[in-house]
Amino acid sequence: MLILGIDPGLQKTGWGIIESKGCALKFIASGLIKTNPAASLAERLASLHRGLAQVIEAYKPQSAAMEETFVNRNPASALKLGQARGALLAVPALYNLEVAEYSANKVKKSIVGSGHAAKQQMGMMIKTLLPASGVISEDEADALAVAITHAHHAANRSRISA
């Protein structure tokens, strides 16, 4: 099963595609969708939508997962991130994909074993789990971590239902 992981952001959104076969994971692709900070909010949201649609059309994942928003101290930033998340959540749904959401702590716990792992630990584990990923940005690593978390939880759900 191909899984799309999404690390949402208004300035840049990380995405990653992995293949999950049982317990085996394989890196397929990752990248960033960047928006123009000088553009209007509506144009930036449309840019995120178009960028993620291109990823879905190119790789044809069977499911998607996104990191949940943490509470931000700055209400304006939290609102903008929420709008970006909304635009990004709609895209896989428009392609009839299941979209799961995971908290940052759940993702960190799934990848590193600790819900309060540092970015460096996360990056190191992504390199260990997906050595073919090469040199990637933190946002791409976060997106791949979300996809891996979804693969682990999907495997558990299928075992329980069986």
Kindly list the catalytic residues: 7, 67, 139
First-last CA distance in the chain: 17
Give 71-88 as a 3 state SS string.
CCCCHHHHHHHHHHHHHH
Helices marked H in 1-137? 41-59, 75-94, 104-111, 119-129
φ and ψ at 28, to 5 degrees? -110, -55
H or E element: which one contains 149?
helix 138-161
What is d(CA 37, CA 43) in angstroms, rounded to the nearest whole number? 10
